[in-house]
C-alpha cells in the first residue's frame, strides 16, 4: 500500500516537472519595424578605417602613450562627420573626455551614446596584417580597435551625421560621450559624468559597450542571442601577505610564507561564493531557456528543484556560465623570495574578484577572512568597485535598445544579462537608472577571441549593421 502511495507521489512529482517544462515556451516577441535603412556603406567603412589608422594605445604608464595619435583622431572627427560638428556643441574634457550635444526638440529625456577611442597594446609580430594600417581585404577591415570599440563610435557619429543631413531633429537631446582611456581605467568618463551632474542632467537612456549578438550563448539554443547588459559585476583586488623570519632554504621550518599562501589559495578555491540567481540572470534564463531543448527546459522551468544541480554544473564548467551566477575569485599574482635558495621574509598573493549583485565589497572581504581563518595571513583590499545597480527592463528606454537590436538582427533572441567585465558605464550609477551595455555588432566565437588579442578585424557587413542599429535607435531618441 505504502509502495503505491510513494509511486503515486513520484509520478505526480514527475508530471509537475514535465508539465512545467512543456509550458515553458518562448514568449511572444515584440513587433519590430520592417523599414528599410539606406545609407552609404562604403563611406561608413572608410570612416572607420581612418579611425583605426590612429594609434590610440592606452598604457598604465601614460608616458608610453603617443598623445599626437589621440589628437590626430580628435581632429579627424569634424572631417569625417561634418554635419555632426556643424550642428552639435563639442566639449573637450580632461583625460581625453569628448562630449557632443545634439540638441533635440526637448531636453527633458536625454540619451547618452557612449564609446571609447583608446585601444589596448598589440603584439605586432603575432599579427598577420599590420594592426594600424587599416587594411581591407576579403571582406574584412583589419586593425586594433575595429571591434573594441571604434566600430560603435563610428556608427553613432556616422548615423547622426546622416540623420542631420536629412534634416532630422531628435525628440530629445542626444549626447555622444567618448573616453580616451577606458582600457586603463582612465578618468575621461568620470569627468563627463561630473559635467552631467553639475548641469543637472539625468539621462533617460545610457548606451555603452557590452553584450553583442552572439551564437552559442546558452545550452541547447542554436539561434543567436542579442545580449543587453542591464548590470555589471563589481571588482575587487585582494592582497594576501604572510611574513616570516626568512632563512636559508637548506634547513626549512615546517611552515613558510609560501606553504601558508598555498593553503590560503586552496581554501579560497574550495569555498566558492554562494550561487546568486540575480535578476539579470533570471531574466536571461526566462528568455533563452524557453528556446532551449526539452532537457534544459526541464531544468530551467523547474529551478525550484534543480537549483543545486545547476549550481554544480556551473561550478564544474567555470568560465562565463559560472561567472554569471556568483562572485568569482581568480588568483592572478604571486611573489616570494628574490633568490632561489632563500625562504622569503614575506610573500604575497593577489586575487582579482568579480562581485555579483548580491555581494558588497565589505561582505566579500568578511567572507574571505572567515574562509582563510589564519591570523598569520594579512588580508588587504587594494582597489574595489561595487556591483552596478540593475537597470529596468520594463520601460521605454530598454525597449528602444531591444527593438533596435531585434529589427537590425532579425531572428535573434533579445535578452537582458549581466556583464561580467567592467565598463565606463559604471560611472553613471548615480545619474541614471537606464544604463544598458550593448556593442552593436554580431560576432562569432572566433571573432570574440580577437578582442584584446591578435588579428582583431571586423567583417565589413558588421560595420554596416552597426550603423543600421544606430540609425534605428537615434531615430527614436
Residues forming contacts to Zn ion in the complex (CB under 5 A) are: 148-149, 209
Q: In angstroms, what is the C-alpha Rg of the chain?
A: 25
Ramachandran quadrant class, 455 (left: phi over 0; alpha: psi -120 to 50; beta: rest): left
Q: Closest Cα to residue 23, out of 302, 225, 413, 281? A: 302
Other Cβ atoms less than 10 A from the Cβ of 289: the count is 23
CB-nearer residue toward Zn ion: 326 or 437: 437
Question: What is the residue whose three cell numbers read 632563512?
Answer: 247
**Position of minimal CB gap to Zn ion:** 148
CB of 439 to Zn ion, least distance (A): 8
- Beta bridge pairs of residue 156: none
Other Cβ atoms less than 10 A from the Cβ of 19: the count is 11
CB of 177 to Zn ion, least distance (A): 14
CB-nearer residue toward Zn ion: 148 or 173: 148
What grid cell was written down for 168?
532630422
CB of 233 to Zn ion, least distance (A): 16
CA distance 150 to 192: 19
Residue-level length of the chain: 477
CB of 146 to Zn ion, least distance (A): 12
CB-nearer residue toward Zn ion: 95 or 335: 95
CB-nearer residue toward Zn ion: 290 or 354: 354
Contacts (Cβ under 8 Å, ≥6 apart) of 405:
213, 226, 228, 412, 414, 438, 440, 469
CB-nearer residue toward Zn ion: 32 or 185: 185
CB of 417 to Zn ion, least distance (A): 17
Other Cβ atoms less than 10 A from the Cβ of 457: the count is 24
CB-nearer residue toward Zn ion: 148 or 276: 148
Q: What are phi and psi of 257, to 5 degrees?
A: -55, -35
CB-nearer residue toward Zn ion: 182 or 468: 182
Q: Is 379 helix (H, G, I), strand (E, B) or coil?
A: strand
CB of 248 to Zn ion, least distance (A): 49
CB-nearer residue toward Zn ion: 276 or 442: 442
Q: What is the DSSP letter of 29?
A: P
Pairing of strands 136-137, 140-142: antiparallel
CB-nearer residue toward Zn ion: 144 or 400: 144
CB of 182 to Zn ion, least distance (A): 6
Q: Would you give the distance in Å from CA 350 to the centre of its chain?
A: 23
CB of 153 to Zn ion, least distance (A): 10
Q: Closest Cα to residue 467, out of 104, 74, 101, 151? A: 151
What element of type H or E holds 110?
Answer: strand 106-116
CA distance 462 to 162: 18
CB-nearer residue toward Zn ion: 148 or 442: 148
CA distance 285 to 416: 9
CB of 247 to Zn ion, least distance (A): 47
CB of 451 to Zn ion, least distance (A): 8
Pairing of strands 106-116, 172-179: parallel
CA distance 150 to 69: 14
Is the peptide bond prior to 149 cis by the omega test (within 30 degrees of 0)? yes
CB-nearer residue toward Zn ion: 110 or 145: 145
CA distance 417 to 340: 47
CB of 147 to Zn ion, least distance (A): 9
CA distance 284 to 390: 14
Amino acid at each position: 500500500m505504502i509502495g503505491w502511495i510513494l509511486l503515486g507521489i513520484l509520478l505526480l512529482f514527475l508530471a509537475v516537472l514535465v508539465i512545467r517544462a512543456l509550458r515553458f515556451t518562448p514568449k511572444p516577441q515584440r513587433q519590430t519595424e520592417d523599414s528599410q535603412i539606406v545609407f552609404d556603406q562604403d563611406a561608413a567603412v572608410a570612416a572607420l578605417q581612418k579611425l583605426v589608422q590612429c594609434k590610440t594605445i592606452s598604457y598604465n604608464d601614460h608616458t608610453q602613450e603617443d598623445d599626437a595619435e589621440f589628437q590626430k583622431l580628435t581632429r579627424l572627427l569634424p572631417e569625417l562627420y561634418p554635419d555632426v560638428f556643424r550642428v552639435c556643441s563639442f566639449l573637450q574634457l580632461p583625460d581625453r573626455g569628448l562630449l557632443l550635444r545634439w540638441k533635440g526638440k526637448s531636453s527633458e529625456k536625454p540619451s547618452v551614446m557612449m564609446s571609447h577611442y583608446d585601444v589596448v597594446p598589440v603584439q605586432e609580430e603575432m599579427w598577420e596584417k599590420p594592426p594600424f594600417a587599416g587594411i581591407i581585404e576579403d571582406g574584412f577591415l583589419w586593425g586594433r580597435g575595429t571591434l573594441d570599440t571604434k566600430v560603435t563610435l563610428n556608427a553613432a557619429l556616422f548615423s547622426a551625421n546622416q540623420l542631420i543631413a536629412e534634416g532630422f531633429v531628435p525628440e530629445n537631446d542626444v549626447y555622444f560621450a567618448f573616453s580616451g582611456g577606458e582600457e586603463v581605467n582612465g578618468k575621461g568618463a568620470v569627468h563627463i559624468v561630473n559635467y552631467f551632474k553639475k548641469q543637472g542632467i539625468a539621462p533617460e537612456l545610457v548606451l555603452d559597450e557590452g553584450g553583442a549578438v552572439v551564437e552559442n550563448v546558452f545550452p541547447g539554443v542554436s539561434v543567436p542571442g542579442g545580449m543587453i547588459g542591464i548590470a555589471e559585476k563589481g571588482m575587487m583586488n585582494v592582497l594576501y601577505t604572510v611574513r616570516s623570519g626568512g632563512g636559508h632554504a637548506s634547513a626549512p621550518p615546517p611552515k613558510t610564507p609560501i606553504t601558508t599562501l598555498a593553503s590560503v589559495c586552496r581554501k579560497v578555491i574550495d569555498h566558492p561564493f554562494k550561487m546568486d540567481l540575480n535578476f539579470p540572470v533570471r531574466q536571461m534564463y526566462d528568455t533563452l531557456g524557453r528556446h532551449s531543448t526539452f532537457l534544459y527546459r526541464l531544468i530551467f522551468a523547474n529551478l525550484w528543484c534543480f537549483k543545486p544541480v545547476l549550481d554544480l554544473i556551473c561550478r564544474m564548467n567555470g568560465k562565463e556560465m559560472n561567472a554569471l551566477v556568483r562572485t568569482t575569485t581568480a588568483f592572478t599574482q604571486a611573489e616570494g623570495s628574490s633568490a632561489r635558495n632563500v625562504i622569503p621574509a614575506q610573500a604575497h598573493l593577489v586575487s582579482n574578484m568579480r562581485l555579483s549583485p548580491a555581494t558588497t565589497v565589505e561582505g566579500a572581504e568578511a567572507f574571505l577572512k572567515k574562509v582563510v581563518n589564519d591570523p598569520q595571513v594579512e588580508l588587504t583590499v587594494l582597489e574595489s568597485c561595487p556591483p552596478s545597480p540593475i537597470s529596468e527592463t520594463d520601460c521605454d528606454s530598454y525597449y528602444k535598445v531591444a527593438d533596435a537590436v531585434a529589427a537590425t538582427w532579425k531572428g535573434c533572441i533579445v535578452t537582458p544579462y549581466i556583464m561580467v567585465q567592467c565598463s565606463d558605464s559604471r560611472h553613471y550609477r548615480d545619474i541614471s537608472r537606464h544604463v544598458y551595455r550593448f556593442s552593436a555588432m554580431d560576432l562569432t566565437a572566433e571573432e570574440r577571441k580577437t578582442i584584446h588579442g591578435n588579428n582583431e578585424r571586423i567583417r565589413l557587413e558588421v560595420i554596416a549593421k552597426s550603423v543600421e542599429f544606430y540609425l534605428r535607435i537615434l531615430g527614436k531618441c
